[in-house]
């Protein structure tokens, strides 16, 4: 198998060079490798096929191909999809949003809606394909269940929301960090993005380097010498230093300590943003792409749910992402139940809060907040009763405190806190197998999977190289594709399972319905009209977090066609829970057989009405 064009650059470990002056001299003599292709040419894969009803997802789309895909989809199915740009990226690329619904049954803004995005993290490009898969399925399917869903539901799909750094992922050897392209001074030396990884050996990969070093802080893992683990006091060596593949480009004695960008858009959301969070940026919502998404969400209060695609792990993530945030118990019970359904439909093995995922390091993913699949394929929680997990989880949070994994400024917390959206983040692609059933796929398990199931596709073996500054090193590590993003041959399955979860969540969003009105004749052309307003969805019309923050919008109902004698023609019914109903009643006056209409509406639950005739 030819894998020489599948690159990955792991997160850099900045290490000092022993003789910085010598490095400066070498920099005058050593030139970086010449580009292997034009700046906009895809480096790893051939062009993707055009959008078509029969399209099969087995190709990774770069930004231009994404643009072609969504434009052709909108042209082919104008009755279902309309394309717009919600803004521009830092480098000026359009940020596409496809609004998908059955336009013959009402305007998109009048229906309940779900938001879907991909490409938030620049190296997680399988997320873009999953978002395109949602667009393709909704635009082309004639399945009665999907066409029926489109009659009542709007889908806002933004396939690539941070395209600038992602562009480098396709066209250069770099595996970008999860950042925007805004220049950032990581090492506070007054320079911006001046020292990133380099493809030294000319194989179109910027991977890792390891070097024998008596003072090194790494050793080969005794289970597999390709993996490097932290040095322990009892270790006897040999010891290694590990670097990102590259030169000390700025002569400061460090390697790849200031690469492209530095603001992580998934740590830049308002809601629970913190300046102490790595990658938080200068202030919450500072990045153009993120600000465009926030403005879009604010302008579309019908968004009741969201899914944010990432990779990898095969994990369904939910709030909270930080230890000092507590969900109302009713919201947590909804999240746990929807997580269970998410595992059922995706086949993934774990659903968890962000801060409990793999934390503390080495802990089992079998915590009260989590839902998991056991070795028999059964989906389990810590308690037989799903709802019982909520109060116990609240108590555990107080005990965990700051030991939990922090991810301040994340998308799902932001959407949940700011807009009352039931938000999930899907870590697509479960690379490897959990052989010891501890809820994790560690490096050794992934290497074994790479060898036995992938014919070595995902990992580049360590190869000796004479580094112009460090001397003898070895270059190797995980490639761009196969480890964090599946091989093209596995794309279709990952797209399908995440499309299925989006459809499942959309079906469970709140949806109003008005029952047949009851009419009581009080004499003198006066009638009492009573109607039941029901929520047919599992999700309430407003989550409890909105009630906590005094931002919950009530369901409203009104009657038309007769003189209203009651104090108000429009009645506020408050929050209607999942599978629940509220009653609205009016005193009206009109001649017998006068037609009337009862209407009910809520931004996140759509509109509904029922008609009747007085005296009938």
Above 60 in pLDDT, residue 113? yes
In this structure, the number of other CB atoms found within 10 A of the CB of residue 496 comes to 14
Q: Give the pLDDT of residue 186.
A: 84
Above 50 in pLDDT, residue 397? no
Above 90 in pLDDT, residue 119? yes
Domain parsing of the chain, residue ranges: 328-352+360-405, 512-613
User: What is the greatest pairwise CA distance in the chain?
Assistant: 102
Residue 310 φ then ψ, to 5°: -140, -175
Question: What integer is the mean pLDDT of 111-138?
Answer: 97
Instruction: Mean pLDDT check: name the lowest of 24-28, 443-447, 524-528.
Output: 24-28
Q: Which CATH architecture has domain 512-613?
A: Sandwich (2.60)
Instruction: Give the span between the Cα atoms of 506 and 529, in whole angstroms.
Output: 33
Q: Do residues 20 and 255 lie in contact, with contact meaning Cβ atoms separated by under 8 Å?
A: no
Q: What are 479-513's pLDDT values in tens digits?
A: 989 999 999 999 999 999 999 999 999 999 999 99
Q: What are 335-359's pLDDT values in tens digits?
A: 999 999 999 999 999 999 998 887 6
Torsional sign, CA 396, 402, 406, 410: positive
Q: Give the pLDDT of residue 382.
A: 67
pLDDT bin (cut points 50, 70, 90) of residue 362 is low
Above 70 in pLDDT, residue 295? yes
Instruction: With residue 99 as reference, give the H or E element that holds it.
Output: strand 94-100
Q: Do residues 285 and 215 lie in contact, with contact meaning Cβ atoms separated by under 8 Å?
A: no
Which residue, chain included where needed, has tokens 């196969």? 482
Question: What integer is the mean pLDDT of 408-421?
Answer: 96
Q: Give the pLDDT of residue 177.
A: 81
Higher pLDDT, 6 or 608: 608
Helix axes 488-507, 144-152, angle to 10 degrees: 50
Instruction: Mean pLDDT check: name the lowest of 258-272, 480-494, 561-575.
Output: 258-272
Higher pLDDT, 250 or 587: 587
Q: Give the pLDDT of residue 359.
A: 65
Q: Mean pLDDT in the chain?
A: 88
Question: What integer is the mean pLDDT of 211-217?
Answer: 96
| Angle formed at CA 480 by CA 255 and CA 356, multiple of 5 degrees | 85
Percent of the chain with pLDDT over 70: 89
Q: What are 89-104's pLDDT values in tens digits?
A: 999 999 999 999 999 9
Q: Give the pLDDT of residue 29.
A: 30
Rounded alpha-carbon distances, angstroms, from residue 586 to 309, 366, 512, 555? 46, 52, 19, 16
Q: Do residues 18 and 12 lie in contact, with contact meaning Cβ atoms separated by under 8 Å?
A: no
Above 60 in pLDDT, residue 269? yes
Above 70 in pLDDT, residue 262? yes
Q: What are 138-154's pLDDT values in tens digits?
A: 999 999 999 999 999 99
What's the distance, CA 34 to chain centroid?
A: 35
Above 90 in pLDDT, residue 368? no
Residues for the chain: how many in total? Answer: 616
Query: Across the strands, what pairs with 318?
Result: 353
The tokens describing 557, both together, are 């109902």
Q: Give the pLDDT of residue 228.
A: 95
DSSP 471: E
DSSP 576: -
Above 50 in pLDDT, residue 26? no
Torsional sign, CA 380, 383, 384, 388: negative
Instruction: Give the span between the Cα atoms of 131 and 538, in whole angstroms.
Output: 24
Percent of the chain with pLDDT over 90: 74
Above 50 in pLDDT, residue 526? yes
Q: Give the pLDDT of residue 13.
A: 33
Residue closest to 43 by CA, chosen among 68, 67, 69, 9: 9
Q: Give the pLDDT of residue 254.
A: 85
Above 60 in pLDDT, residue 23? no
């Amino acid at each position: 198998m030819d894998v020489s064009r599948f690159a990955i650059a792991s997160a850099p470990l900045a290490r000092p060079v022993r003789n910085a002056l010598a490095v400066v001299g070498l920099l005058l003599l050593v030139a970086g490798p010449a580009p292997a292709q034009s700046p906009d040419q895809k480096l790893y894969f051939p062009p993707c096929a055009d959008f078509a009803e029969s399209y099969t997802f087995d190709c990774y789309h770069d930004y231009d191909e994404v643009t072609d895909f969504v434009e052709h989809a909108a042209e082919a199915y104008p009755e279902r999809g309309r394309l717009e740009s919600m803004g521009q990226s830092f480098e000026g690329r359009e940020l596409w949003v496809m609004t998908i619904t059955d336009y013959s049954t009402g305007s998109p803004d009048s229906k309940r809606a779900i938001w879907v995005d991909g490409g938030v993290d620049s190296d997680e490009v399988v997320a873009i394909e999953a978002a395109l898969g949602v667009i393709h399925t909704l635009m082309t399917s004639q399945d009665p269940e999907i066409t029926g869903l489109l009659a009542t539901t709007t889908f806002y799909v933004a396939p690539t929301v941070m395209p600038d750094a992602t562009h480098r992922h396709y066209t250069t050897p770099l595996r970008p960090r999860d950042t925007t392209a805004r220049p950032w001074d990581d090492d506070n030396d007054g320079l911006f993005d001046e020292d990133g990884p380099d493809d030294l050996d000319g194989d179109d990969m910027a991977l890792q380097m390891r070097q024998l070093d008596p003072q090194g802080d790494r050793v080969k893992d005794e289970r597999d010498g390709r993996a490097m683990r932290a040095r322990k006091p009892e270790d006897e060596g040999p010891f290694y230093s590990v670097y990102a593949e590259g030169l000390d480009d700025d002569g400061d004695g460090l390697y790849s300590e200031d690469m492209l960008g530095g603001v992580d858009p998934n740590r830049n959301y308002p809601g629970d943003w913190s300046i102490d969070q790595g990658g938080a940026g200068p202030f919450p919502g500072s990045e153009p792409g993120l600000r465009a998404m926030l403005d879009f969400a604010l302008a579309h209060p019908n968004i009741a749910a969201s899914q944010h695609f990432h990779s990898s792990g095969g994990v369904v993530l939910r709030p909270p992402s930080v230890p000092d945030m507590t969900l109302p118990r009713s919201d947590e019970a909804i999240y746990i139940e929807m997580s269970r359904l998410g595992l059922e439909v995706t086949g993934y093995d774990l659903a968890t809060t962000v801060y409990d995922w793999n934390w503390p390091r080495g802990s089992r993913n079998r915590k009260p907040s989590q839902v998991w699949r056991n070795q028999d394929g059964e989906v389990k929680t810590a308690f037989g009763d799903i709802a019982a997990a909520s109060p116990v989880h609240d108590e555990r949070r107080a005990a965990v405190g700051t030991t939990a994994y922090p991810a301040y400024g994340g998308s799902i917390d932001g959407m949940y806190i700011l807009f009352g959206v039931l938000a999930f983040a899907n870590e697509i692609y479960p690379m490897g197998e959990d052989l010891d059933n501890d809820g994790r796929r560690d490096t050794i398990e992934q290497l074994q999977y790479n060898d036995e199931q992938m014919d070595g596709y995902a990992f580049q073996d360590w190869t000796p190289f004479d580094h112009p500054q460090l001397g003898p090193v070895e270059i190797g590590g995980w490639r761009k594709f196969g480890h964090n993003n599946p091989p093209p041959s596995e794309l279709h399955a990952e797209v399908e399972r995440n499309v299925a979860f989006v459809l499942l969540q959309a079906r469970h969003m709140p949806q109003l319905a008005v029952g047949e009105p009851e009419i009581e004749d009080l004499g003198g052309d006066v009638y009492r009209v009573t109607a039941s307003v029901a929520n047919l969805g599992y999700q309430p019309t407003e989550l409890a977090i909105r009630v906590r923050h005094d931002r919950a919008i009530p369901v409203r109902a009104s009657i038309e066609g007769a003189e209203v004698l009651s104090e108000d023609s429009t009645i506020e019914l408050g929050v209607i829970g999942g599978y629940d109903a509220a009653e609205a009643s009016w005193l009206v006056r009109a001649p017998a057989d006068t037609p009337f209409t009862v209407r009910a509406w809520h931004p996140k639950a759509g509109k509904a009405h029922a008609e009747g005739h007085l005296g009938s």
